[in-house]
Structure 1
Amino acid sequence: MVIVRDTLVDALVARLRDGVLSGRYPPGAYLPSERELAAEYGVTRTSLKHALSRLAQLGLVETKHGVGTRVLDYLSSGGPELLPMLVVADGPGWLEETFQARREIGALVYARAAERRGAGHCADLRALHEAVAAAQTADDAQLAECEIHRVLAAASGNRVYGFLVNSLLNAYLPVRQLLIAPFRDPGRAAGRLTPLVEAVCAGEAGEAHTAAVRYLAETERLMLSGEDR
């Protein structure tokens, strides 16, 4: 099928990526030749080379000159940047594991944030907390809450935690409309956040850990049930 889109390479990457993740191109198999793929998708070989290079950066394929492009086992070679694609491609399984990581990593990160937060972090947290409460739409509240997680990760002082939180949020954001239930009432959403924000800003690591576990478990339950109650 010929791809007719403005972002040609992006579209080609998505089509080939989906072929790998769906098993159409299984691990260890070689993709068709560049000439065949270019003809199949109606693109130039230059566009195809750009797309294959991006797939290689994702850990999905490797290309060897004179041999071809071999599909890799993404569970062994991929990284967290694949999470958004996997959640979209195979929602239930990957979403469950993403939530598990969210609970376990989040509690650790936010306890560390309570130990290492600065005045600027607390000012940002309180401003975003107010933004959740004052949000005019559920989506606005949801997006403000996402930024709270980024600030909490930054407050931990560990940049690797920041990357991990970014990866989890990047997996979450494309499907956030399916998980919007906790934010339909922004005031209640802000109320659920209050113990976490206050514990972090007070520097109480134990309380922050407890509040994080409670908050992440409760919002997960609401997201999966689709009801804010």
Structure 2
Amino acid sequence: MDLTKKAPVLTNKEYFVRKLTKGILSGEWNPGDRLPSERELAAEMGIGKTVVHSGFEQLAAMGLVEIKPKSGVFVADYMKTGNIETLNAIVHLNGNELSREVTVAILDLRLAIEGMAFRALCLCRSAEDLVHLRAMTAAIRDCAHRSGEKELAERFFLWHRQICILSGRSILTLFMNTTHDVSIAFWVNYLRIYGTSFAIDRLERFIERIEARDGEGACNLLATGITDYLARLKE
């Protein structure tokens, strides 16, 4: 491990967005509050007004603020009007740790998305699909001992996303992509609980069901795994 590696330097815009995100999500500003003007924030942080303006636009895209022309910028009621970017911001603020509420919601979404993908793939899978999934699994096993948590989590996410890709249901892949950041946080925690060997074994069991064209069996394997994971979170 390179202990001399420096943390990445933030741009002024990244600094601005992170500072306001933390202020909003920590309750320093509440939904409906009017934020300081671009001029005030630029002077306070020592950055340009154009940076602040661009930062506000990004915060709006994240669902955290509402820009009202000629009135100002207001904190949005993000728990009602937020989007996946809002969820990602909450996860990052919490050090990539997922609350139980967020975990349950993400796993429900995953069960719906991957359940459809597994059923579709089991109907249309080819020999090449099986070869590809086995190669991805072998690559994970090969690098497991020398990879960090996030790299391994990324590989497991990509394996499961590949199920959506191979299913031919492109909309499922798009939905899966929107959950990337929170899924990585989930996989990091999953691997801490179960270990890499167990997780790889489950990939191989999924492949067995896909090879047998057993869509329901694959879905049941996914569902029982999620149920067991949630039960362990209670312990």
The bucket for the TM-score relative to the shorter chain is: 0.7 to 0.9
For the pair 1:199 / 2:209, whether they are aligned, the reply is: yes
Aligned counterpart, 1:136:
145
Alignment gaps of 5+ in structure 2: 1-8
> Aligned partner of 2:54: which letter?
H
**Identity %, equivalent residues:** 26
State whether structure 2 residue 92 is matched by structure 1 residue 81.
no
Find the aligned partners of 1:152 and 1:25 in 2 and give their Cα distance. 42
Matched, 1:10 2:19: no
Structure 2 distance, partners of 1:72, 1:154, is: 35
1:174 Cα deviation (Å)?
5.4
User: Would you say the 8 A contact 1:114–1:202 is kept in 2?
Assistant: no
CA apart distance, 1:44: 0.7
- Of 130-139 and 207-216, more deviation after overlay is shown by 130-139
Alignment partner of 1:54 out of 50, 58, 68: 58
Question: In the TM superposition, what whole-angstrom CA distance separates every residue of 1:80-103 from its partner, at most 9, and x where no partner exists?
Answer: 122222123347995313321343
Match of 1:150 in 2: 161
Query: SS state of the match for residue 136, structure 1?
Result: helix
Matched, 1:164 2:175: yes
- Tell me if the contact between 2:156 and 2:187 (Cα under 8 Å) persists in the aligned partners: no
Q: Shift in Å at residue 221 of structure 1?
A: 5.9
RMSD: 2.9
How far apart are residue 133 of structure 1 and its match?
2.2
What is the SS of the residue equivalent to 1:210?
Answer: helix
Q: What is the deviation of 1:145?
A: 1.2
2:165 maps to a residue whose letter is A
Q: CA deviation at 1:176?
A: 5.8
CA distance in 1, matches of 2:118, 2:164: 10
Compared CA separation, residues 92 and 126, structure 1 to 2 (3 A): closer
Report which stretch shifted further, 56-65 or 30-39: 56-65
Cα deviation, 1:160-195, whole Å, max 9, x if unaligned, reads 4323323333114358655541564x3332113222
Match of 2:4 in 1: none
Aligned residue number for residue 97 of structure 1:
101
Match of 2:67 in 1: 63
What is the TM-score with the length of structure 2 in the denominator? 0.79
Compute the displacement of 1:31 (Å).
Answer: 0.4
Where in structure 1 do 4 or more consecutive aligned residues deviate above 6 Å? Answer: none
What are the ranges of 5 or more consecutive residues in structure 1 without an aligned counterpart? none
Q: CA deviation at 1:150?
A: 1.1
Distance 1:147 1:219, change over 3 A: farther
Range with greater deviation from structure 2 (18-27 or 171-180): 171-180
Q: Tell me, yes or no, if the aligned pair for 1:88 and 1:175 is still in contact at 8 Å.
A: no
- Inter-CA distance 159–142: structure 2 relative to 1 (3 Å threshold): same
CA, structure 1 residues 195+175, in 2 after alignment: closer, same or farther (shift >3 Å)?
Answer: closer
Instruction: Name whichever of 64-73 and 189-198 sits farther off.
Output: 189-198
The whole-number CA distance in structure 2 between the counterparts of 1:53 and 1:14 is 13
Q: Distance in 2 between matches of 1:175 and 1:199?
A: 24
> What SS does structure 2 have at the residue aligned with 1:26?
coil
Count of residues in Structure 1 that have an aligned counterpart in Structure 2 = 220
